[in-house]
Amino acid sequence: MCAHQDATFLYTDPMKLVGFWFALDDATPQNGCLKFAPGSHCSGVHRRYVRNPNPGSEELVGYNSPAPTYPKSNFRTLPVNKGELIKINYF
C-alpha cells in the first residue's frame, strides 16, 4: 500500500491544512476507496517533499527522509457514494 500524508507535499507553518476529497464515482473497497489510519494526524508529518539542495542534480525535488512503513492493520476503508465529500483535517 502506498500511504502518504497530504502535508508531505503541502507545506504550511503552522501546519493548518484542510483537504477535500470528492467522489466522482462510487468508491468501494473493490475499486480503490480511500483508506486512512485513525489518529495518524496526531503523530506529525513523517517526511516532506522538498527542493533538492544539490544544484548539480537533475532531480529538482525529493523527499527529506525515507518512506515510513505502516502496519496494514492500522488502516480503515472509507467507502463513499458518487457526489459525497470527505473533509480531512490536519490540525
For a pLDDT cut of 70, what percent of the chain falls above it? 96
Q: What is the pTM of this model?
A: 0.67
Do the beta carbons of residue 86 and residue 34 sit within 8 Å?
yes
At 46-79, the pLDDT tens digits run 888 899 888 888 999 999 988 888 888 989 999 9
Binned at pLDDT 50, 70 and 90, residue 25 comes out as very high
Cell of 47: 517526511
Average pLDDT over residues 23-33: 94
Binned at pLDDT 50, 70 and 90, residue 29 comes out as very high
What are the E-state strand segments in the chain? 18-22, 34-36, 49-51, 61-63, 76-78, 85-89
Q: How far is CA 9 from the centre of its chain?
A: 8
Q: Which residues contact 81 (CB under 8 A, 6 or more apart)?
A: 23, 26
